[in-house]
Each structure stands twice: as structure tokens, then as C-alpha cells.
Amino acid sequence: MDLSERTLRLENVRDGVSFEARPGRVTALFGSDDASSLLTVALGLVRPEQGRVTVDGVDLDDLDPSAWWSEVAWVPQRPALVAGTIADNIRMGWSATDAEVAAAARAAGLDEALDALVDEDTWSDDRHQRIGFARVFLRDSAVVLLDEPTAMLDADGDEALAVLRRLVAGRTVLLVVHRPTLLALADVVIAVPGLVPA
């Protein structure tokens, strides 16, 4: 399934909210923390109580789940880690050379040794998030959903924005934004009714 030219659309979900993420564009959902729940609906992890999610008009429930997940990436605010090395956590079962993993780590701003062991309990939120970014770079996912991607980063705004500009380039991106500075990444900004901060 090639999602690079397909439009992801949510129709009349969450109190009648409708919006779409068009190919190669960054669509930002600007609102409170509740806006993050729309990402799980868009991913198909949560079935909407009303309305539907479609990909080029085809209901998400009718798509092959394995084909869908092969091209879709979700980066929550604190991506989960598994026992193993940094390289293991970037690959997550994906077939890739050491050089490809190293390139993905550099693109994400992750400068630790790739053979270093990770510890889910002691590792900083910044490292969690950068490993999530590196997974997207490695898989070259066509569709990416990001939940406030700078919320846990230790770096300054310019460095974080540079990483994110590399991450979203050429992809279909749905981005939940709580910080106005991230709106600079967006081609389209959707103010979600009832979720916009006062």
C-alpha cells in the first residue's frame, strides 16, 4: 500500500470535528491536551463513537492492517523502549544496516553510541522522543502522526525545529500542537472546536 499520495480524513468525529491530512503536507491540530486523543482515532487504535476515518474515501476499517502499519508512524510524547541497545530500539525489528541506523540516529539528533544499552526507567524523556524520531527516519514512513513533538526535548527551540523540519519533509503529517512556535512547521492549522486553549 502506497500512502504517499493518499489523503487521511476524519469525518464528523468528536462532536462533529472533520479535517484531513493531505499528501506531503503538515496539518497541525492546535488545542489542549485533549487534541492528542484525535491521533489515536486517526491511527485506528480507537474507534470513533461517531463519524469515520478514511484513506482516499476508503474506510480505515476496510484496509489491510499490516499494510497500513507498514507505512504509518506514530510518535507519542514518550515513545516506549524495549530491552536492548539503542540500535535495537531504533530498528524495532525493521531490516536495516548499521549505517542506515546510524544515519537515522544522527538525523534525530541522537548522539549516543548505538551499542549502548537502554534503560526504560532511567533514560530521559528527551532520549525516548529522539529514538521515536529515529524510527521514522529509518523506516521513511509516508504518514507520520506526532503528538507535541518538542514537549520532552532538552534542546533549544532552534535545534528541535531543525530536527522536525527534516522529519516532516515530504511526508503526510498530522501534528498535535500545544506550543505556538511549532505552528511554523504547518502548512495547514486546524483549530479543533472546544479544544483550543483560552
How does pLDDT run across 26-75, given as a tens digit for each residue?
Answer: 999 987 667 888 999 999 999 888 999 999 999 999 999 998 999 999 99
Sheet-wide strand order for 17-21:
17-21, 8-13, 52-55, 58-59
Residues 6+ apart with CB under 8 A from 37: 14, 46
Averaged pLDDT for residues 2-20 = 89
The pLDDT tens digits of the residues spanning 122-171 come to 788 888 899 999 999 999 999 999 998 887 777 667 888 899 999 999 99
Q: Which residues contact 42 (CB under 8 A, 6 or more apart)?
A: 8, 10, 21, 53, 145, 174
pLDDT at 36: 85
pLDDT in the model for residue 197: 42
pLDDT in tens, 75-133: 998 899 999 999 999 999 899 999 999 999 999 999 889 999 988 777 888 888 999 99
- Greater model confidence, 164 or 1: 164
Looking at the predicted structure, is the pLDDT value of residue 3 above 80?
yes
Domain assignment of residue 196, yes or no:
no
Count of structural domains within the chain: 1
Question: Residue 87 sits in which domain range?
Answer: 8-191
CA–CA separation, 139 and 134 (whole Å): 9
Does 2 fall in a domain? Answer: no
Task: Report if residue 72 sits inside a domain.
Answer: yes
Please indicate, yes or no, if residue 1 is contained in any of the structural domains. Answer: no
Give the model's pLDDT for residue 126.
87
Q: 55 Cβ partners below 8 Å, 6+ apart? A: 3, 6, 7, 8, 9, 63, 68
- Angstrom CA distances, 150 to 6, 86, 112, 159, stand at 27, 20, 19, 10
- Asked whether residue 20 is assigned to any structural domain, the reply reads yes
Res 179: pLDDT: 79
Structure confidence at residue 198 as a pLDDT band (50, 70, 90): very low
- The percent helix, strand, coil of the chain (3-state, each to 5) is 35, 20, 45
Position 3 in a domain: no
Does residue 116 fall inside a structural domain? yes
Q: Alpha-carbon distance 65 to 62, whole Å?
A: 9
Which comes out higher in pLDDT, residue 178 or 106?
106
Alpha helices in 44-156 (DSSP H): 65-71, 86-91, 98-107, 125-139
pLDDT band at residue 181 under the 50/70/90 scheme: confident
For 24, counting Cβ atoms within 10 Å of its Cβ (0-12 exposed, 13-18 middle, 19+ buried), the class is middle
DSSP conformation letters of 16-49: TEEEEE-TT-EEEEESSGGGGHHHHHHHTSS--S
pLDDT at residue 62, rounded to an integer:
94
Whether 197 maps to a domain, the answer reads: no
* C-alpha atoms less than 13 angstroms from C-alpha of 125 in its C-beta half-sphere: 11
Question: Is the per-residue pLDDT at 187 higher than 60?
Answer: yes
**CATH label of the domain that carries residue 48:** 3.40.50.300
